[in-house]
Chain A
Amino acid sequence: MSEPVPSKRPGIAVWLPLGLFAAFLVLVVVGLYWPADREVSSAFIGKPLPAFDLPPASEDRPGLATTVFKQDGKPRLLNVFASWCFPCKVEAPQLAALAQQGVEIDGVAIRDRKEDVAGFLKQYGNPFKRIGKDDLSQVQLAIGSSGVPETFVIDGKGIIRYQHIGDIRQEDIPLILRKLAEAGQ
């Protein structure tokens, strides 16, 4: 019955809990200071726009149907917005600038009243060719958009080519124009 006496010297294993704790701290700090991206991008890019036909959201613009995106082979922007959405007001000048450069922009107004849309367009300008009224967020869900504003580049065959999440800032315009040009090739 002579069992070997266990070594009294602490091995490397004694540092393991402290090491694990330090690793945990690092994880917490990383999570705090560089939080994960909370944007949900559409998985529908590269796929054809689902069929829809929305009634007009404005008195002086027609509604919006999928057929529009295939009619002349030209790429367009599909802007998902709402009069109640604050960043949509912020991006209005950028949309106006894009429209002025000849970009065709069609809008989908999410959960909006006609009078509110009218007030919004009056105050912030109307860059849209057509505006569809999406009271149940059906088109929004069908294209994988998770908020307002979002802007999609749709090519001349009705394929979704690019998604911009959030308001378009001044510095985003070149990228949007490039994506439009790529979609037009």
Chain B
Amino acid sequence: MRGLLLALLALFALSAPLAAQDMLPPAPYAYKQLADPKQEAKAQALMETLRCLKCQSQSIADSDAPMAGDMRHQVRTRIAAGEDPEAIRQWLIERYGDYVSYTPQVKPITWPLFAAPLLFLALAAFLLRGRFRRRKGA
């Protein structure tokens, strides 16, 4: 038993981690907020709605992947330079497609997303109207 345990330990000690990670420090604005709180708020709002491309179910605000850090750096420096957050989103969509943005854009393919709630409300109103009328008649 002890031998087996030792053998297992040796195996773990020998297995070098395969995880690929770079040796560079994070980008300057990967973890550093902008000095101006208004600009930082804008940057934060945008970063929360941009997809990390390495870890695809996280936003770049949420991810510690180096690439997400570089994207945060890019977002923060551009906002500090006075760029509009939506322009930065468009810049990324131009390169990665709609996939990079968590905020759906109004487009021919996404109109049901925006129209469906209205349709459901209309349907609910129609059904409720029927109910109320019946109750009055009873």
Contact = CB atoms under 8 A, between A and B. Distances in A.
B15 interface: no
Interface of B: 18, 20-24, 27, 53-54, 56, 66-67, 70-71, 73-74, 92-97, 99-100
Specify the main secondary structure of chain A where it touches its partner. Answer: loop
Contacts of B67: 137, 140, 146-147
B20 A85 contact: yes
Given A84-B20, A146-B54, A44 B74 contact: no
Given A38-B56, A146-B53, A147-B54, A135 B24 contact: yes
8 contacts: A43-B95, A44-B95, A82-B22, A86-B18, A137-B71, A140-B70, A144-B95, A146-B67
Contacts of A138: 70, 74
A113 B20 contact: no
A42 interface: yes
A141 B74 contact: yes
A184 B99 CA distance: 31
Contact of B97 (A40, A110, A136, A140): A40
A111 interface: yes
A116 B71 CA distance: 23
Specify the main secondary structure of chain B where it touches its partner. Answer: helix
Interface of A: 38, 40-44, 82, 84-86, 110-113, 116, 135-138, 140-144, 146-147
Given A142-B95, A144-B96, A116 B23 contact: yes
The residue among A40, A44, A135, A138 with the most chain B CB atoms within 10 A of its own CB is A40
A44 B23 CA distance: 29
B74 A43 contact: no
The residue among B22, B67, B93, B96 with the most chain A CB atoms within 10 A of its own CB is B22
B47 to A, nearest CB: 14
Contacts of A82: 20, 22
Given A111-B22, A147-B53, A136 B96 contact: no
Given A140-B67, A141-B74, 12 more contacts: A40-B56, A43-B94, A43-B97, A44-B95, A82-B22, A110-B22, A112-B23, A112-B24, A137-B71, A141-B71, A144-B95, A147-B67
